[in-house]
């Protein structure tokens, strides 16, 4: 589990031989064997977070059985591995419920868990960055149907986050024409230069640190997530999607960076053109999408 450099392209990649052993449950229609469902979880020694309402858990975070990185400090110091912690955050006890079904209150529970685990994993001298991400459905990278996200702390800063930080400047303001929703603390916009077709960005208005999110901001974030997924379903249907949160790493200063959430409906897969050129075709009519999101 180590970060290596491709000698032909200079690209960084994470070598990990364990992740291929993950099992998928998408061939099953039943939740009988789902490890994330109540009464089927063996959380002994692996439960890191739990919120209980009326005697029943509503969110949980557990250690990832197939981590992308290991928290072996001795091997990290010796240069054998890159260090990190990897958890699965279970967003509901209901096997069949997805973000398309969540209420604002359920999004609030999820956001509270995100923040709590972000703070916990970031509170480690070996860690330089923390990423939260979600894969919904198999074609978006999920191996389990039950709604969940993942959080990963790393002893390095990933290239995509570094690119964003370096590209952020006071000149990179958002055009009002691209904003489709806003509340007290967040704006939602559809970027014209989206890397992937249909991308939506939820950006905090003033903060660059996700871990500093207040309870009022958590409630506003839940409202925004509810709005976004109502609109995604309206425009695309219950489509596979990815989400990831980018927050500025500790010990890095950038007064113009704002922590934000990327929501990416997976409208298609990559092909030979994208793989051979490194270019991605954004085929969505942005004017049409802006209009639909404002309806």
> To which residue do tokens 């559809």 refer?
190
Inside any domain, residue 19: no
Inside any domain, residue 133: yes
240 in Cβ contact with 139 (< 8 Å):
yes
How high is the pLDDT of residue 29?
47
130 in Cβ contact with 121 (< 8 Å):
yes
- Domain boundaries, position 88: 2-14+35-294
How many Cβ atoms sit within 10 Å of the Cβ of residue 109?
20
How many Cβ atoms sit within 10 Å of the Cβ of residue 87?
24
Inside any domain, residue 54: yes
- State the alpha helices, DSSP H only, in 43-137: 73-77, 104-122
Inside any domain, residue 24: no
241 in Cβ contact with 140 (< 8 Å):
yes
Q: How far apart are CA 225 and CA 93, in angstroms?
A: 19
Inside any domain, residue 216: yes
CATH number, domain containing residue 252: 3.30.428.10
- Give pLDDT tens digits along the chain (295 positions): 566 665 545 666 666 655 555 555 555 545 678 889 987 766 666 999 999 999 999 999 999 988 988 877 666 555 656 889 999 999 999 999 999 999 999 999 999 999 999 999 999 999 999 999 999 999 999 989 999 999 999 999 999 999 999 888 644 678 899 999 999 999 999 998 887 889 999 999 999 999 999 999 999 999 999 999 999 999 999 999 999 999 999 989 888 999 999 999 998 777 787 777 777 777 778 899 999 999 8
Residue 239, judged by CB atoms within 10 A of its CB (0-12, 13-18, 19+), counts as middle
Q: How far apart are CA 258 and CA 174, in angstroms?
A: 12
Q: How far apart are CA 15 and CA 5, in angstroms?
A: 10
Inside any domain, residue 30: no
Q: How far apart are CA 88 and CA 150, in angstroms?
A: 5
Inside any domain, residue 23: no
> To which residue do tokens 């980018």 refer?
246
Q: Which distant-in-sequence residues (6+ apart) come within 8 Å of 274 by Cβ? A: 280, 281
> For 64-209, where are the E strands, in sequence order?
86-90, 129-136, 148-154, 179-182, 186-189, 200-204
Specify the number of domains making up the chain: 1
Inside any domain, residue 74: yes
């Amino acid at each position: 589990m180590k970060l290596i450099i491709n000698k032909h392209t200079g690209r960084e990649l994470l070598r990990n031989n364990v992740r291929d052993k993950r099992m998928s449950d998408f061939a099953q229609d039943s939740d009988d064997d789902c490890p994330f469902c109540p009464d089927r979880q063996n959380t002994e020694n692996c439960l890191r977070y739990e919120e209980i309402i009326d005697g029943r858990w509503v969110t949980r975070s557990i250690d990832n059985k197939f981590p992308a990185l290991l928290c072996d400090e001795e091997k990290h110091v010796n240069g054998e591995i890159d260090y990190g912690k990897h958890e699965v955050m279970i967003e509901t006890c209901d096997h069949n419920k997805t973000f398309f079904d969540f209420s604002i209150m359920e999004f609030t529970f999820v956001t509270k868990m995100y923040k709590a685990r972000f703070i916990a994993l970031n509170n480690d001298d070996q860690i330089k960055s923390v990423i939260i991400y979600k894969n919904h459905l198999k074609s978006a990278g999920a191996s389990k149907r039950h709604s969940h996200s993942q959080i990963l702390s790393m002893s390095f800063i990933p290239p995509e986050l570094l690119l964003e930080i370096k590209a952020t400047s006071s000149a990179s303001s958002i055009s009002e024409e691209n904003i489709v929703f806003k509340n007290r603390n967040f704006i939602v916009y559809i970027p014209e230069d989206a890397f992937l077709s249909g991308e939506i960005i939820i950006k905090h208005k003033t903060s660059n640190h996700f871990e500093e999110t207040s309870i009022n901001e958590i409630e506003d974030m839940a409202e925004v997530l509810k709005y976004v997924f109502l609109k995604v379903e309206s425009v695309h249907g219950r489509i596979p999607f990815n989400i990831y949160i980018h927050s500025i790493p500790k010990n890095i200063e950038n007064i113009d960076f704002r922590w934000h959430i990327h929501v990416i409906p997976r409208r298609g897969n990559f092909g030979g053109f994208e793989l051979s050129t490194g270019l991605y075709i954004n085929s969505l009519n942005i004017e049409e999408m802006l209009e639909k999101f404002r309806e």
